[in-house]
Amino acid sequence: MKITRPAYKDCLYVCRHLRLQDRAEVLATHWSKDASDLAHPIAFSREPLAWCMHGIDGEPVCLLGANQLWPGMWAPWAMATPRFDEIGWAVTRFVKRTMIPAMVDLGFNRAECRTLETNTDAQRWLERLGAIRESENPRVGRDNQTFFTYVFYPENCRRDLYSRG
């Protein structure tokens, strides 16, 4: 797996080729359904925690990061193409060994993200990373979809920071 900063062409590629469950989740919470409108803010963000994960052949597969909303509060995010399973374990290790420790170093108190009720793959992955399902949020999506809020606290992540898997 190759890891880079998210260049626009890579962001656009991933946004145009999202897994069905990621596409449903992302489009439920964005103003536009246009892939370029999704890719642009990721590619041109000044956030330090943003990456593009590429498959062994160099094709962009996953966009991943965390935005600091205010001091101590973070919003992690990820989206991927159907090839995510090819690099999923490597991405998981990267999050545990690099992304979460970077958030700890930057003083995170809480990180929260939302996942579409039907996106069970994302929910299992978040729990594997140490997130806790905090709440069910009905009628959050543009078409009244239900979302779950998952939270990370530093003390819940520390046990997983450097573990394999």
Q: What is the reported pLDDT for 157?
A: 75
**What would the mean pLDDT of 29-58 be, rounded to a whole number?**
93
The yes-or-no verdict on residue 161 having pLDDT over 50 is no
Tell me the residue ranges of DSSP E strands in 11-122. 50-54, 60-70, 73-80, 110-116
**What would the mean pLDDT of 32-43 be, rounded to a whole number?**
92
Mean pLDDT of the chain: 92
Domains, the chain: 2-160 (3.40.630.30)
**What would the mean pLDDT of 138-158 be, rounded to a whole number?**
92
The yes-or-no verdict on residue 163 having pLDDT over 60 is no
The yes-or-no verdict on residue 126 having pLDDT over 60 is yes
Dist CA 19 CA 80 (whole Å) = 6
Q: What is the reported pLDDT for 158?
A: 56
